[in-house]
Amino acid sequence: MTTPRPSSPPPLRSSTEERRGDPGQRTPDNHVDHVLGLADDALVSAQRMGWWISRAPQLEEDLALANIGLDLLGQARALLSHAGALEGQGRGEDDLAYWRDERDFRNVKLVERPQEDFGVAMARLLVLSTWQSELYAALQRSTDPVLAAVAAKAAKEVAYHHDHATRWVLRLGDGTPESHARMQAALDAEWPWIEELFDESHLDPALVTDGVAVAPSSLREPVLRRLGDVVRSATLEVPDVPARVPGGRAGLHTEHLGRMLAEMQHLTRSHPGATW
């Protein structure tokens, strides 16, 4: 992303709670927030996936994870550009990626935490890709034509992500006693963050009524069923753990996001207006 930067960043918008109108009344800001949430999920996931380049257990896996990260980055770019166009304040993908602060990001907490254990990375990719595959399949029927087009392309990419993660979870879960134990521990670590994927408190119900968005709760059954099938096939157990408190869609994040953004945004903020 190398769009020329203005001499100073555009003014940041206020928080979601301040911008929303009456509940159930669709507004442009509600639409923007929805698209930003999907964009931020992909952007933050891409950044976390990039950590594995040169650190994966095999050279082929270096390339595979790099390609998955690029897929996610491509989804993020398309969605950020769309959010900027919907917002109508002259902000493009670079502005939204590099000049928003932590509280303005709308991603779920699942994707923002470090994943420096390979089992954790595969467990998270399995969860994320399973959810995204169901989400994008439904969003292809969105009344937002741009969102529908992005979903159609992304659905093909996340199908590969899901297949890749599934193969590793099966391989590790049904492997040696050590790989089995570590894969189970990875699932136990990621499972508490799944419930936020189905949280509807952040979403304007009018967007669902108008066919723009998909009700998150409608994805719970197919996502959990598919995840359970993979976990059991890997001779693992579906974790029985309490859900973590949601809030990412409202800008309430773990301590890890701010640190990640400081690294991701450092160069752009240190040299505003620079191109390369």
Match 């669709």 to its residue by tokens.
26
Write b or e for each residue in 64-102: b if 16 or more Cβ atoms lie within 10 A of its Cβ, otherwise e: bbbebbebbbbbbbbbbbbbbebbeeebbbbbbbbbbeb
Looking at residue 17, what is its pLDDT? 42
Contact 133, 162 (CB under 8 A): yes
Tell me, what CATH number does 265's domain have? 1.20.1260.10
In a domain, 242, yes or no: no
* Rounded Cα gap, residues 222 and 254, in angstroms: 27
In a domain, 184, yes or no: yes
Token digits of residue 132: 């995204």
The total number of structural domains in the chain stands at 1
In a domain, 93, yes or no: yes
Token digits of residue 58: 């095999």
- Domain range for 150 is 26-236+247-270
Comparing C-alpha atoms, which of 99, 104, 129 is closest to residue 9? 99
Comparing C-alpha atoms, which of 178, 74, 214, 64 is closest to residue 125? 64
152-176, pLDDT tens digit by residue? 999 999 999 999 999 999 999 999 9
Looking at residue 275, what is its pLDDT? 82
Token digits of residue 12: 């940041």
Count the neighbouring beta carbons within 10 Å of the beta carbon of residue 207. 21
In a domain, 81, yes or no: yes
In a domain, 205, yes or no: yes
In a domain, 4, yes or no: no
Match 């896996």 to its residue by tokens.
61
In a domain, 13, yes or no: no
pTM of the model: 0.90
Amino acid at the residue 66: A
Looking at residue 18, what is its pLDDT? 43
CA-based R_g, the chain, Å:
18
In a domain, 21, yes or no: no
Q: Could you say which residues of the chain have pLDDT below 50?
A: 1-24
Give the CA count within 13 Å in the CB-facing half-sphere of 31.
21
Looking at residue 28, what is its pLDDT? 83
Residues 6+ apart with CB under 8 A from 41: 107, 108, 111, 128, 132
CA dihedral 8, 9, 10, 12 (to 10 degrees): -140
